[in-house]
Amino acid sequence: MKALLICPHERVGVALLAERQPLALLPVCGRALIEYWLEYLATNGARHVTVLSSDRPDQVRAVVGDGRKWGLMVEVLPQSSELSVEEARAKFNASSGEWLRSAEDIVVVDRLPGETTSALDSYASWQNAVQQFSRRANGPTRIGLREAQPGVWLGLRTRIHAKATLRTPCWVGDDVHIGPGAVVGPNAVVESRCFVEAGAEMRDSIVAPETFVGAFTEVTNSIACGSLLINWQRGSHVNVPDLFVLGEARAKPMQFSPSILLGRLVAAATLVATAPVLLYVCWKCAWRGQQPLRQVSAVRPAFGLSGRRLEWYSFYEFTNVNRWVRRWPQLWSIVTGDLCWVGNRPISASKASRLTNDFERLWLHAPSGLVSLACVRGWMDSFSEEARAHASFYAVQRNWRLDMQILARAPIVFLVSAFERLWENELVPMPVRQWLKAEYPTTIHRT
């Protein structure tokens, strides 16, 4: 089955919403509008979807990719102007055969699946469409979304202060921070990566991704997108000049974290205390005529008001040494902030492209770390299904207790791996080898 999606180009009623991204990419409860249509078409048997985009098609292509995420073959075709349904049917039936016969084969992405009226006629219609959808946004493809109480939905890694108030119905996305005394709801949708300070209040409003709401700021009957505040009832808008009232989340005041500072200090102290490791590796590689270090490139998610993307970063590792010792230079990456002590291991862009579904892509939702859950569970430096499952589990469940368990187990795993290496090289004394074989005949299989 084939289908065709037409991305809206201009809608006068919501012109301000199209300033930062195409209308087809407007965020709705953590996802772009067009993503819901691709998921809907895949569920209803579509296999090939053509997307017509006349407004920034490169951004649309960056979000939908080749459609593998939904089990589809997706092709994004740039257009000079938005086609009507009749024009699209006539054009593509003539060029590719009569395969667009049903009214459901061609869809204009100006509403959510299941709706019959456009959500882009006005700011009020958009606000109403998002509010209605937020009450049924949960589904089998949602990973980590939970209902904290009837009518209150929370995303992954969202931090709600104990003194904050959530009034039903409301929807809060991933990586949102809500401070003490803040009031969210009723009828509030706070998208991913927002930062809400103490005493702020939001009701009958939508807060776009990565928006900072300052202390004691009231957002009522509005759509907040960075410093832009739109009153959906009147259609009026204002650009708030004070970034401490309303702005982009990255403009919030820097937050001091004692745990992060402590982790960096411990990494620096560990580097100094274990400096002989560097001397040993350099001497060993010089003796063999090899380079002691090699640079490794990896990717990690970067967020902005234009959407979610992957950014490159690099770190170093030793060559031709034990796979645990190989990570010693990465202690400096902890000092600089590129890595942390515990997290998911860094992965390359090619491996990131092989994370084929939302569950596996959780690998990228946790910070990159020196030690991972997969490492201490026997899947060190692995990209197997088991390693991906451990990475996704950690991204959902990570907390300080789990981090402490991983750190406590890491030295034991290191010692076991070192012993196994000595055993394989026949450096374990013969009396010890004979005793182990006698005491543990079912676990010692090497000869």
Q: Are residues 267 and 316 in the same domain?
A: yes
Question: Contact at 8 Å (CB) between 39 and 70?
Answer: yes
CATH number for position 217: 2.160.10.20
202 lies in the same domain as 154: yes
Is residue 69 assigned to a domain? yes
**Domain end position, chosen among 194, 221, 251:** 251
Retrieve residue 295's tokens.
Answer: 């640079």
Residue 140 inside a domain? The answer is no
Q: Last residue of a domain, which of 199, 224, 251?
A: 251
The answer to whether the CB of 367 falls within 8 A of the CB of 343 is yes
DSSP 417-439: HHHHHHHHTT-S-HHHHHHHHHH
- Do 303 and 353 share a domain, yes or no? yes
* Cα–Cα distance measured from residue 138 to residue 151, given in angstroms and rounded to the nearest whole number: 11
Answer yes or no: are the C-beta atoms of 203 and 187 closer than 8 Å.
yes
Nearest to 223, CA basis, from 308, 145, 108, 128: 128
Residue 386: Cβ within 10 Å count: 13
> Same domain for 202 and 98?
no
pLDDT at 440: 43
Q: What's the chain's Rg over C-alpha atoms? A: 26
Residue 137: inside a domain, yes or no?
no
Q: Residue 158 domain-assigned?
A: yes
Residue 125: inside a domain: no
Q: CA torsion 132→137→139→145, rounded to 10°?
A: -140
Q: Are residues 195 and 298 in the same domain?
A: no
Quick one: 43 and 150 in the same domain? no
**Each residue's pLDDT expressed in tens, for the chain with a length of 447 residues:** 788 899 998 889 999 998 888 999 999 998 999 999 999 998 888 889 999 998 898 899 988 888 888 888 999 998 888 888 888 888 776 555 445 444 457 889 999 988 888 999 999 999 999 999 988 877 767 777 888 889 899 988 888 999 999 999 999 998 899 999 999 999 999 999 899 999 999 999 999 998 999 889 999 999 999 889 999 999 899 998 887 889 887 644 445 567 888 989 999 999 999 988 888 888 888 888 888 888 888 888 765 444 456 778 889 999 877 788 889 999 999 998 889 999 999 998 888 888 877 788 889 888 899 999 999 888 888 888 899 999 999 988 888 899 999 999 988 888 777 666 655 555 556 665 555 455 444 444 443
Whether 311 maps to a domain, the answer reads: yes
Last residue of a domain, which of 229, 251, 273?
Answer: 251
Judge if 276 and 418 occupy the same domain. yes
The per-residue b/e assignment along 395-429, b for 16 or more CB within 10 angstroms, e otherwise, is beebeeeebeebeeebeebbeeeeeeeeeeeeeee
Residue 179 in any domain: the answer is yes
DSSP, collapsed to helix, strand or coil, labels residue 222 as strand
For residue 99, give the CATH number of its domain.
Answer: 3.90.550.10
pLDDT attached to residue 422: 57
Q: Is there a single domain that holds both residue 310 and residue 355?
A: yes
SS3 (DSSP) at 40: helix
Residue 172 pLDDT: 94
Domain assignment present for 433: no
- Tell whether 82 and 37 lie within a shared domain: yes
Query: Do 221 and 199 share a structural domain?
Result: yes
Q: Do 337 and 416 reside in the same domain of the chain? A: yes
Q: What domain count does the chain have?
A: 3
Same domain, 29 and 169: no
Q: Which domain holds residue 109?
A: 2-119
